[in-house]
Amino acid sequence: MGRRRQSVTIKHVAADAGVSLQTVSRVINKEPNVRPAMKERVQASIDKLGYVPSIAAQRMSGSRSYLILAINDRDRTIADWRARDGRDWVDQMLLGGMLTAAERGYRMIFELIDTHSDHVERELGAAIAALQPDGVIVTPPHSENPQITGLLAENGIPFARIGSKEDGPGIAMTMGDELLAGKATDHLIELGHMRIGFIAGPDEYSLAGWRTDGWREAMGNAELDCEDLLEQGDFGFESGLAAAQALLDRENPPTAIIASSDQMALAALDVAKERGLHVPRDLSIVSFDNTPIVRFATPSLTAVDQPIARTAARAVELLIDFNKHGAPQAPVVVEGELIVRASTARAPTRSRT
């Protein structure tokens, strides 16, 4: 009987080919300093034994770990998982990052780090020491936390900063938040809306400010007033309720609302229904994120789609190729799109009088 596939190790391959473990490792890692005849000999043993290279075998060369580490905010992520309310940031990041890493012979490991912890350097330092990643993907608000980015830079680890345009070490990446907020605003302006409210996200996220800037710019380009049309939330549902109520309590309320997260948009939808407003006849609503839940709202929500999977995939590619090409000079933009659904329509007559 042949060996079971899962029991075959690099030692078996080396013995079968009559070469050293280091030679097998060089072949697995596709290093240039191996003679063609030796490559064929080792590959023949790999094929014969049904050997599947492990990360441990690949790491024997000592130059690379073949691991990409992605970190996300612990408290927010755990809260989202426990709520089970359809948020899929982590899912999409894993989809794009893990598949792309696998295609390149790497693995992506996901870790949760407490942004607000006094021990953030200890937590991240422990993960780095244990995994020795070839690169790190840092997500908001970690991407602009100097403790985290500074530690990575000091350790000489390439990293991608998603949701950051700041100068400094690492690869800056965005999803075109300002442009997308402008697209959402332009969509509503084209439908005849002149009073377009905006529910911003928290200040700790730079992307929240970019989205507000995109809305302001589009309103300004159309010569429309932003005065008294801005409220702020924390991306959560409860904050969306308060913000939507405040906007609709205005003496001249908006006929459309753009919310900086799906949860805040769903809250605006609830407030509208409580007040007897029909969406979209009386009030149009646009959301950011486009998580699965917005498709099943009544009505389904027009939403800015965040290309999280594509961004994570691009981050992995840039990190793997970092030693060859270094960091791009300008922030890398992976732009999403506006998905128009049933929550937006022509403005009611009162908005155009």
Q: Which domain holds residue 249?
A: 177-305+338-352
Closest to 261 measured CA to CA, from 231, 299, 292, 291: 291
Closest to 270 measured CA to CA, from 240, 296, 300, 293: 240
Domain match, 86 and 223 both: no
Instruction: Residue 114: give its domain's CATH number.
Output: 3.40.50.2300
pLDDT of residue 344: 98
Domain match, 160 and 190 both: no
Domain match, 57 and 110 both: no
Instruction: Residue 13: give its domain's CATH number.
Output: 1.10.260.40
Does 330 map to a domain? Answer: no
pLDDT tens digits for the chain (353 residues)?
Answer: 444 445 688 888 889 999 988 888 778 766 667 888 888 999 999 888 888 766 555 555 556 789 999 999 888 899 889 988 888 999 999 999 999 999 988 999 999 988 666 678 888 888 888 889 999 999 988 898 898 999 999 989 999 999 999 888 999 999 999 999 999 999 999 999 999 999 999 998 999 999 999 999 999 999 999 999 999 999 999 999 999 999 999 999 999 999 999 999 999 999 999 999 999 999 999 999 999 999 999 999 999 999 999 999 999 999 999 988 888 989 999 999 999 999 999 999 864 44
Domain match, 114 and 160 both: yes
CA 109, 114, 115, 120 dihedral sign is negative
Distance CA 316, CA 311 (A): 9
Does 182 map to a domain? Answer: yes
pLDDT of residue 262: 95
Domain match, 100 and 236 both: no
Our count of domains for the chain comes to: 3
Amino acid sitting at position 40: E
Domain match, 18 and 122 both: no
Domain match, 229 and 148 both: no
Does 48 map to a domain? Answer: yes
How many Å is the maximal CA-CA distance in the chain? 87
Amino acid sitting at position 70: A
Half-sphere exposure (Cβ direction) of 308: Cα atoms closer than 13 Å: 21
Edge-to-edge strand ranges of the sheet holding 230-232:
230-232, 196-200, 256-259, 284-289, 302-305, 337-339
Pairing mode, if any, of strands 302-305 and 230-232?
unpaired
Of the candidates 32, 61, 90, which is a domain's last residue? 61
Q: Tokens 């079971």 sit at which residue? A: 4
Distance CA 221, CA 343 (A): 24
Tell me if residue 302 falls in helix, strand or coil: strand
Distance CA 328, CA 143 (A): 16
pLDDT of residue 61: 52
Domain match, 56 and 112 both: no
Distance CA 298, CA 292 (A): 13
Please return the burial class of 200, using the count of CB atoms within 10 Å of its CB with bins 0-12, 13-18 and 19+: buried
Half-sphere exposure (Cβ direction) of 164: Cα atoms closer than 13 Å: 24
Domain match, 20 and 149 both: no
Considering just the CA atoms, what is the radius of gyration of the chain in Å? 25
pLDDT of residue 59: 54
pLDDT of residue 225: 95
pLDDT of residue 179: 96
Tell me if residue 251 falls in helix, strand or coil: coil
3-state SS of the chain: helix, strand, coil percent to 5? 50, 15, 35
Distance CA 12, CA 19 (A): 10
Distance CA 306, CA 148 (A): 24
Amino acid sitting at position 219: M
pLDDT of residue 55: 56
Does 327 map to a domain? Answer: no
CA distances from 295 to 56, 182, 307, 344, 347 (A): 43, 22, 16, 13, 22
Q: Quick check: pTM over 0.85?
A: no
Distance CA 239, CA 248 (A): 14
Does 83 map to a domain? Answer: yes
Q: Tokens 């350790």 sit at which residue? A: 155
pLDDT of residue 242: 98
320 C-beta neighbours (distance < 10 Å), count: 21
User: Strand pairing partners for 259?
Assistant: 199
Element of type H or E holding 177: helix 177-190
